[in-house]
A and B are shown apart, each in its own frame.
Chain A
Amino acid sequence: MIQIRDLHKSFGDHKVINGITLDVERGTTFVVLGGSGSGKTVLMKHVIGLLKPDSGTVFVDGIEIPRLEGPPLTEARRMFGMVFQGAALFDSMTVYENVAFPLRERQRGIATDELRRRVVEKLKVVDLDEDVLTRFPAELSGGMRKRVALARAVVHDPKVVLYDEPTTGLDPITTAYVDDMIISAKQRLGVTSMVISHDIASAFKVADKIAVLYDGHLAAQGTPEEVRRSDHPFVQRYLSLWFEKQ
């Protein structure tokens, strides 16, 4: 579904992505793990075409994203949903308006009843009731905002959902809830998911495959078990610190 080929990206003299190649299979959850500043978010922004690579390329469902500009890029983005680290809900809109936004934009003239039905349906997927519809993002807890963000990301039935640090800053209970939400979105909606995270526990819980990003390149990738057995010094240190903590 997603193929990244020898991707390179620098900002000024700082090389952020240094030759990354990976594949995400359709209907699976792929987690990119790495420390702060390792280039995870930059990698994800290339997948959805928010950044252009210096060299290398990205294919999503057979479409070469970096080659697209203007309306074709806009059209290609219709197959994505994205959950941002801070949820990125539109703070001047209610929950209903936020979740309805992508649908309204894709299907201009959609009937109000149909719009409401689909918004409520997707809010149910993330265990939210209709009573949140009229609330503003500032009136929601961090976990609820993340759930609304996921409902907004999947309301138009995208092929791919991208998660940028979905559990950062959340308490353990809400973190577990968000993990279940990612698994549920995959199982109930059949979407391909790519998760950017530094949360090792969450990664091992939700991932079909994991890649560990270090200093702009992949230190390891494979199933969770294969990554756990990696002999790369950074991966060993990164994981052992966490397993010791457990």
Chain B
Amino acid sequence: MMLFGGETVAWVFRPPFRPELVLAQMAAIGVGSIFIVGTTGFFTGMVFALQVTYAMAQFGAEGYVGGSVALALARELAPVLTALMVIGRSGSAITTELGTMRVTEQIDAMETMAVNPVQYLAVPRFLAALAMFPALTMLFNTLGYMGGYLMGIFVSDIPPGPFIEHTRTMVETQDVTHGLFKSIIFGGVVAIITTYRGYAAKPAEGSRGVGEGTTRAVVMSSIAILVFDYVLTLGSVGK
């Protein structure tokens, strides 16, 4: 898989470039995931605001709910939950599509037509994931904060002034960019794992092999996200 990842990255810089395929994958991975990511973000923001309000109320510090929600979303919840949602929706689809192409000899056919399948199939998905994971993470941030605001203001009766003011003082630009940086790494990792699992499907195992490959891709990607999240967070905040 490491070799496959290296080959994918190397082909990014070699012609022919295929912007039309990258755009198509951006639509499939990004636009196609807007509903699931937006919904997850909105509900996560609402639930997190209710939980934080419950905790803060014990110290009479409800005004800090907005800042806490925004900080948690920007640094942690948005990049990680966005990645997990996209793995379930688009990552599994990538593995299934490429696995089916391998089993039905479509990838072999591509090779016989003097087209490098890694360049044609993996690179557009890799680039699209690099671009769309941070975009979806920003969507998660925005809708999550909106959900938190609605709960804080209209359900928990927190005054809007402190809610927004503490958000402004607690959250800095680098908190948001830290989350977006994570999401770019997650996008690359997910794209390589899911394309590889499909690309490396064994024709002899048929549809069962494609199914198992998809399951493996989802499990491996999810675990990889959690491990990378830990490493990147440790690197960011230290001990």
Contacts and interface: CB of A to CB of B under 8 A. Distances in A.
A105 B114 contact: yes
B114 A78 contact: yes
Contacts of B169: none
Contacts of B112: 48, 50, 77, 80-82, 162
Contacts of B109: 82, 84, 88-90
A105 B111 CA distance: 11
Contacts of B116: 74
A217 B43 CA distance: 66
Contacts of B100: 91
Interface string A219-235: 00000000000000000
A84 B108 contact: yes
Nearest to A164: B105
Interface residues of B, number: 15
B133 to A, nearest CB: 23
A127 interface: no
Nearest to B120: A105
B89 to A, nearest CB: 18
Contacts of A106: 114
Contact of A88 (B16, B97, B108): B108
A88 B113 contact: no
Interface string A168-205: 00000000000000000000000000000000000000
Contacts of B97: 92
A37 B5 CA distance: 34
Contacts of B114: 74-75, 77-78, 102, 105-106
Contact of A85 (B101, B105, B106, B115): B105
A162 B97 CA distance: 26
B51 interface: no
A108 interface: yes
A90 B109 CA distance: 9
A101 interface: yes
A8 to B, nearest CB: 22
Interface string B196-229: 0000000000000000000000000000000000
A27 interface: no
A50 B105 contact: no
13 contacts: A50-B108, A50-B112, A74-B114, A77-B111, A80-B112, A82-B112, A88-B109, A89-B109, A90-B106, A101-B115, A102-B114, A105-B113, A105-B115
